[in-house]
Structure 1
Amino acid sequence: MPPISALRLLALAFCGALTSCHTALRVETTRDETELSAREKRHMAALLDEVASGWDGMQHGKSTARRAAEDRYENALAKFLREWDSHQCPRYWQSGTEFTSRQQSFQIELTNETSPKREVLPKQLDQLLLASRKRSRGEDTLSERPGLGVPVVGHIYRTDTTRKEQPFLPPNGGNLTLTAVLEMADDDADPATPRRCRLHLHDALNVETVKVQSDERLLAANFTAAKDLALSKKSLGLFSLLGLFYPERTLGDSHLYCMDGYDPKRIPVVFVHGLMSDPHIWLNAVNAISSDPELRAKYQPWYFLYPTGLSVPQTSARLRNSLQQARDYFDPDHNDPGMSQMVLVGHSMGGLLSRMQAIDPKDKLWDAMFRKPPEQLDVSEPVRARIVSALKFKPQPEVKRLLFITTPQRGSNLAGKNIVRRLASFIRLPVDTLLMSQQLLKGNTDALSPQIRDWGFFAFLSIGTLSNEHPFYDGLNAVPIPVPYHSIIGQFGRKPLLESSDGAVPYWSAHLEGAKSEKIVPCWHGCVERPEVVQEVVRVLREHLQESGRIAR
């Protein structure tokens, strides 16, 4: 079978399948309120008997006996929480709910008001999931902290309501790193009086210790489970091919997303994926941040999700708009110390999008692609405004450092090969992009760069702007990068460094003079999840803390 026939079948098969299931990515339906039955309450009360036995045993006896009691307490509490969640959505849990076993009665009180960055209320959650002790990928590291309590993930569905209330909530919902502790009052031995209990859902990213009786105890935590769910390939992986071949169908989800609740003191690290990819590739890097106490205290991971079929200038404009929206939403006065020290980490095409946030191109990008000024183009005003915003812009002031991973800073000769150009022919441009391209190509041939004029629609696709022959790079590389930047470059094979490539991007393209550091890794282009790459990301983030004066917590 000729290569193009195979590509056609592959593209159509994947895109057809993804189109049919894409709605699962976008909106979930909140579970209805369900009352607990008497039978369910009795079963849960029996579990509370075990919780109480373990709690009381933790307060007395030898250390070995106290440890055994703590295990009994946590195992029973985990079962109790799983049962309650399975029968009733946490949003509908009621303070004062009583559970009566054959031995005694219990009254569960819920915290009424959340302390900033310390506790989350059940009414804020749609599900309470026990944190898994296993990774979704066996070779990766599970980050845990031993201590008291049951690590859980507080899940928030993305519904029409939550999308309005929390515009930066990820498309597959929010996943909070929590630890449950059921604090039990002393038993007064009066069978007519329910034993009072208070359920705490501690924010494990911000709470390290809890007070039990008169003792200060380390709080248990699982820092990986929430990130496993947040960056699940099962949900986000649907985006990669659909975003390349049918970008219009994914534009509604093209946005910047926060993986944890916003913290004005923590520095956002924005991860930007590359061509035909999605944010699940950042799981190991995000887990490395969450598992390091210093980085966890200083950084908050965000990611940018975008359809990769559109050109670099168009998509960089979307990222710019998202960053501006986030700044105006979270930090309208522009006073938050964390927001003002943002770091962007981009892989491949994502590195180009990140670079475009820090530079001030003036007329350099425009002059590289057009032979006439904007006002002389024969296009509609909306099209003119769109082109100008993509090529003439100011740098984002909050972006203070860039990290490029296998980024084609001068394009790639792979993008210009015939087989790749044929693959690009399957990309279905959004209507507005198609109309913009038609207007430019129809009445402005004398205003276009000769390369763009000759390429036609290919010049306005992502794959086109990744070609080293695209005039975009003449303008891009004439503009200085005004913030510190670092490069991670893949060397795949045994060729000398200057002649090497990662299989997609040659060294001569990925290398940038003036980089604060350049890390060569013996990996192919898709190396983001490799340990040596993750270690370098961590190192650069530590360097950023040192140079920004944010070392001390």
Structure 2
Amino acid sequence: MLEPYDPNKRVLIMLHGLASSPATWVNLTNDILNDDKLRDNYQVWQIFYPTNLPILENRYQIQQLINSTYEQTDPKGQNRASKNSVIISHSMGAIIARMMLSDENLVDDLDRLDDQNLLSDSEKRKIRDALKASFGEDQLKERFELKALPQVDTAVFLSAPFRGTDYADRWFTRALRRIVYLPVGLVKTVTDNLATIATQGDLAQNPLGALYLQNGASQLSDKSSFIQLTKDITINDRVTYHSIIANNDADITKGLAQMQPAGAKVDLSQAVEEDIENETVGTSSPSDSSKLSAQPLVAAVTVNEDISQALTERLSDGIVPYTSAHLDGAASETIISGGHSIQTNPQTILTLRQILHKQLQE
């Protein structure tokens, strides 16, 4: 929390990405606090987590933290702060956020991870039994059976590698992954039980063992067991979600902009005024949501049906391709010129502000 808890303000949860921290949200937070309407209606909760942990474990621990915070601040769940919360998340954080908004049971999908039949049924049972022994049956169930946060009804995903990225498998990234270690406590807890049943090679390469013996960076690979397990999970129907996706080829973005119908509003594309000293961005009337999209630029493109058909695998932020970040059913999908770290992009910040203003009107 950046300020004392206010029972009458909606909660805005911010979840950073790989090898990052809450500092990545400085520009966005400053803009929210400089927007009178947003400042009066939202309170910011920024979460820091160790991105070297297996992603399933991070999801579990982060959701436990969020649940306990809501419980401590509002045990009866009656305050405005316990309703209509928003999650804004970037990269790995977006993967975790989507899991926290889903009700899927991942246990049902574990068997399909071993599509090459590397393990016998008895070996699969041994690994599951070892995981149960590591965490306890109830806690293991909580790690694989997802339950959507009831307080959250809106989410925004930024540069989200939902289907993984081949960037995680390039030689220089693999070299970095080797020096990103799992926490000693987690390794001891898990491997004391799993190491004794390794049949060959590194247990982390085992499709089931990899879910808890690969670090978070490794699990972002589009070939990882984690991505295969989670790439198609669905979001609870009551949650409205938006995608903001970066494209590092300005010519493609301009071409997409030209495809928009004449006279149509380019949602969230506006003239950007930067205040370098205060690290904020704004418009001529920062608290008036009706003016946020008054002057469209080609910096951002709101995707409609015609444009979505033109998008190809060429569209990428340099790390995450559009095909990995796209989610069917999104209330809006915006393409922004830039690289993977779009959470600091002025255009992204203005996009997020309009989404927040719209949520207040609904």
> Shorter-chain TM-score: what band?
0.7 to 0.9
Q: Which runs of 5+ in 2 are unaligned?
A: 115-120, 253-310
State the partner residue of 1:34: none
1:412 and 1:430 map into 2 onto residues whose CA distance is: 24
2:275 aligned with 1:523: no
1:343 and 1:492 map into 2 onto residues whose CA distance is: 27
Q: Deviations over 1:48-81 (max 9, x none)?
A: xxxxxxxxxxxxxxxxxxxxxxxxxxxxxxxxxx
2:247 and 2:17 map into 1 onto residues whose CA distance is: 18
Scaled by the length of structure 1, what TM-score is found?
0.49
Q: Deviations over 1:474-494 (max 9, x none)?
A: 332332112111111010025
2:4 and 2:42 map into 1 onto residues whose CA distance is: 12
2:197 aligned with 1:443: yes
The one of 202, 212, 216 equivalent to 1:462 is: 216
Query: Which protein, 1 or 2, shows the higher relative CO under an 8 Å CA cutoff with sep ≥ 6?
Result: 2
**Higher-Rg member (1/2):** 1
Residue 43 of structure 2 aligns to a residue whose secondary structure is: strand
1:544 and 1:365 map into 2 onto residues whose CA distance is: 34
Residue 378 of structure 1 aligns to a residue whose secondary structure is: helix
| TM-aligned CA deviation for residue 379 of structure 1 | 4.7
Does the 8 Å CA contact 1:437/1:460 hold for their aligned counterparts?
A: no
Inter-CA distance 465–450: structure 2 relative to 1 (3 Å threshold): closer
State the partner residue of 1:383: 135
Does the 8 Å CA contact 1:357/1:396 hold for their aligned counterparts?
A: yes
Inter-CA distance 545–461: structure 2 relative to 1 (3 Å threshold): same
State the partner residue of 2:147: 394
| TM-aligned CA deviation for residue 284 of structure 1 | 1.4
2:251 and 2:126 map into 1 onto residues whose CA distance is: 45
Does the 8 Å CA contact 2:82/2:151 hold for their aligned counterparts?
A: yes
Q: Deviations over 1:331-366 (max 9, x none)?
A: 101111222211100011111111111101213554
State the partner residue of 1:405: 158
1:288 and 1:397 map into 2 onto residues whose CA distance is: 27
2:171 aligned with 1:415: no
2:246 aligned with 1:490: yes
2:255 aligned with 1:502: no
| TM-aligned CA deviation for residue 317 of structure 1 | 0.9
Letter in 1 for 2:334: K
1:351 and 1:338 map into 2 onto residues whose CA distance is: 22
Give the paired residue count.
Answer: 289
2:29 aligned with 1:286: yes
1:441 and 1:375 map into 2 onto residues whose CA distance is: 10
1:311 and 1:274 map into 2 onto residues whose CA distance is: 13
State the partner residue of 1:304: 47
Residue 271 of structure 1 aligns to a residue whose secondary structure is: strand
Q: Which runs of 5+ in 1 are unaligned?
A: 1-257, 548-553
2:179 and 2:40 map into 1 onto residues whose CA distance is: 45
Inter-CA distance 441–453: structure 2 relative to 1 (3 Å threshold): farther
Letter in 1 for 2:206: I
Inter-CA distance 380–316: structure 2 relative to 1 (3 Å threshold): closer
Does the 8 Å CA contact 1:366/1:392 hold for their aligned counterparts?
A: no
2:2 aligned with 1:259: yes
State the partner residue of 1:536: 351
Give the percent of matched residue pairs that are identical in Structure 1 and Structure 2: 28
Does the 8 Å CA contact 1:377/1:444 hold for their aligned counterparts?
A: no
Inter-CA distance 450–328: structure 2 relative to 1 (3 Å threshold): closer
Does the 8 Å CA contact 1:365/1:391 hold for their aligned counterparts?
A: no
State the partner residue of 2:262: none
The one of 165, 175, 178 equivalent to 1:425 is: 178
Structure 1 window deviating more from structure 2 (437-446 vs 510-519): it is 437-446
